[in-house]
Chains A and B, each alone.
Chain A
Amino acid sequence: MLEALTDALLLALDPSVLMFVALGILLGITLGAIPGLSGDMAIALLLPTVFYLEPASALGLLVGIYKGGMFGGSISGITFGVPGTPGAAATTIDGYQAKLKGKPNRALHTALYSSVAGDSSSDLILIFIALPLAAVALKFGPVEFFALYAFSLLLISALTRGQLAKGVAACALGILLSMIGRDPIGGSLRMTFGIPELAGGLSLIPVLVGIFAVSELIVQVSKAWAAKSRAIVEDAKEKSKMFSDYDAAADKLPFRDFLKLWKATAIGTGTGTLIGALPGAGSSLAAFISYGLAQRFSRNGEEFGKGSMEGVASAEAGNSATSGSTLIPLFAFGIPGSATAALFGAAFILMGMTPGPNMVRDHSDVIYALFIILIYANLVNLLMGKVLLPYYSKMSMVQPRILLPIVFCLAIFGTYAAGNSLIDVWVLLGAGLLGVVLRLYGFPLAPLILGFIVGPGAERALRQSLLIGGEWSYLFSSPIAIGFYTTALGLILVFTLLLRNKA
């Protein structure tokens, strides 16, 4: 243990790792601040680099992007009223009102501090909960694992935004895509359509990058293409005017003023951490529930929606507090609970590590290094934010139309480089087209990704269970499995009622 910790410290505190964390935070904030681009997209695009970097450097880069992207989404929300990411939508409600009242700097600093507070607490919960849970998971058999897979698939299909039926269908489609290739138990070929290159199955990178990044790029390019010249020029002028009229010296947030927002931040942190650990719930839901709870327990509840700093703090803490806890199911059980966790899971697989309870035991140095990076990346985020916050706002002025062709080319060449395989490029473009069609018809993408990643494990667990037990009723022979099924149904019921009340 002590030896692993020492190795981890040496890995995590290497200057090159620190540099990649800072680079990741800058990249994440830049992409998060530009509406339409996101930290998840950046993580997907940079997955191929995982092959070529040291594990700690690669994880530092991805963690930096993730944390930067989380906070970056609130920058354009507060500055221009357009949330850069869905998770920042709740922050925008009061953040933009505060900006209209001449307090953008206070709102941005509140968002930065509460984001770092929520994120750090969530990371600590991850570290202290994931390891004991992983030890419990080592005692699970195939029946319990299948129940756990079913629990995650059910929750993510039901709780992701949009119609439940479309979530289920997206999840099933992801499972089908993961079935292409050789059957893991019998070895026969399935759904390869006579293409020999598909015998090994679809690779993770082209599917993830295509579904997440290429489909979003296509939608953004379509918008950029359709935008009228006059509207673009007026938008650019309006944004520039916002900065020229602004007096930064009169708008500051001393840290002691932020401390007065402890209650709202604590509510956001607690709620975000709890909701983030549930598969499928997501940062957007966490931010809105945190905002609602903070308003209910605030003495100045009537100020919410009118530029309240408590509103900004609760929503942003709720949004960021999902960042650590969303990785708990991945570390403890090998099941990604969100799209971001799925991307991290893919990164681990590319590094030769299998997410799950054995990962901590088999690669303790890298995992402990990741924990250390998660903690100090928050400090780097805070320090960089303090110094660069005035410039961050201007990042949201970058016209995405200049970046779009670069990102598209990066997706194609990055995917090719990851496997040196031409079929991966076709899969990437095909997955991009599929992603576009699904977006247009209102299908959520996160269940598809989860189905794709979890599908083979779930199939293996189910077939092993039935080989041992011989009949379907064997799936309900374990109290733990029954607990997972009933908890999933209970949670779906609770969240459905909660969301209906909110609507």
Chain B
Amino acid sequence: MSSILRNPLRYQDFYVGAVMIAIAAAGLLDITYGNWRTGQTMGPQAFPQVAYIAIMMAGGLVAANACIGKHDARQEDMLSVLVTAVVMVSGGVLLFLLAGRLGFTVALALALVVGSSLLTREPLRHWKTTILLPIVAAVIMYVLFVQLIRIPLPGGLLF
């Protein structure tokens, strides 16, 4: 146990297991004390209860495995992936809100121009790939989804 405290990053799975146990315990407490109709033996709480117990047992096993040295390798790029996830999800929310104001095609073209500009690098970055291609892609998607397949997408000032 002391080696875990000395070198916690090496035993990432130990903490993963602990978090799983905590989540399952919170779920089971919610079922016991929360607003569940738990009168019957096989009521609405039974199946979620089994799932929480499975998560708790699995968490215990993951933590125990980590203690005896059987654990998954830590991903080196974990932080950058998590930061990307937060940025992309926020960007997705912004894109969706923009689409309500500017319309699907304009918001999409803007998002694609920004995305392509951020993801391409010199000397491969070129106006054809960062401006022309995204606009063409947005127009193709508009024609394909709105005109041909007739999927209702948010409309705005222009389209």
Contact = CB atoms under 8 A, between A and B. Distances in A.
Given A401-B120, A406-B137, A433-B89, A172 B54 contact: yes
Interface string B18-48: 0010000001000000001100011111111
Contact of B36 (A51, A190, A410): A190
Contacts, number: 188
Contact of A232 (B72, B77, B84, B124): B124
B89 A186 contact: no
A417 B151 contact: yes
Interface string B111-151: 11011101111111000010001100100010001000111
A409 B151 contact: no
Contacts of A455: 47
B153 interface: yes
Residue with the greatest number of chain A CB neighbours at <10 A, chosen from B62, B123, B141: B62
Interface residues of B, number: 70
Interface in A363-381: none
Nearest to A432: B89
Contacts of B114: 405
Given A433-B85, A436-B81, A52 B59 contact: no
For the complex, would chain A's binding face be called helix, strand, loop or mixed by DSSP majority? Answer: helix
Contacts of B43: 186
B11 interface: no
Nearest to A422: B96
Interface stretch (A2-10, A215-223, A241-249, A294-302): A215-223
A404 B115 CA distance: 8
For the complex, would chain B's binding face be called helix, strand, loop or mixed by DSSP majority? Answer: helix
Interface residues of A, number: 72
B95 interface: yes
A53 B149 contact: yes
Residue with the greatest number of chain A CB neighbours at <10 A, chosen from B51, B112, B116: B51
6 contacts: A169-B59, A169-B62, A214-B88, A222-B85, A225-B118, A405-B116
Interface of A: 48-49, 51-53, 162-166, 168-169, 171-173, 175-176, 179, 183, 185-186, 188, 190-191, 214, 217-219, 221-229, 232-233, 236, 399, 401-402, 404-406, 408-410, 412-414, 416-417, 420, 425, 428-429, 432-433, 436-437, 440-442, 455, 458-459, 462-463, 466-467
